Amino acid sequence: MSDSIKFGGVTLDGPDAGELAAFYAEITGCEVTVSGDSWALMTCPDGSAICFQGAPAYSPPTWPDAASSAQMHLDFDVDDLDATEARVLAAGATKYDFQPNDHCRVYADPVGGCVVVD
């Protein structure tokens, strides 16, 4: 028996799994392959995927907040920050007032999760 561990993916919580999956599929050009209120899956042509889990008592993180944290964020590499900004805002993200530097931009997804593009 081997004790190796292989990373299998990430699951994001939100009030409606299918709606959150649709947002990320829209901004990445990937596809929602399983959609439901309690569970959804987004898969991409390169084989990567993100799972989404419905959490009725979901409470969004706050950022930046010295008394709290963003808990985690998803980082996306992009070619054009301005074009990407238009895309993520049109999909339902909100740009944070505080931006940590000039080489990336930080947004809240529709349920308050942290999205970084650089």
Structural domain spans, the chain:
10-57, 60-118
Region 49-75: what's the mean pLDDT? 86
pLDDT band, very low/low/confident/very high, at 34 (cuts 50, 70, 90): very high
CATH 3.40.309.10 fits 60-118, yes or no: no
Question: In terms of C-beta density within 10 A (0-12 exposed, 13-18 middle, 19 or more buried), how is residue 75 classed?
Answer: exposed
State the pLDDT at residue 70: 63
pTM of the model: 0.91
Q: Give strand pairing partners of 45.
A: none
Q: How far, in Å, CA of 83 to CA of 41, rounded?
A: 26
Domain 10-57 carries which CATH code? 3.30.720.120
Percent of the chain past pLDDT 70, that is, above it, reads 98
More confident residue, 108 or 71: 108
**Res. 7: pLDDT tops 90:** no
| Same fold flag, 10-57 and 60-118 | yes
Q: Which residue, chain included where needed, has tokens 């999909």?
A: 91
Region 17-31: what's the mean pLDDT? 97
Are 51 and 31 in contact by the 8 Å Cβ rule? The answer is no
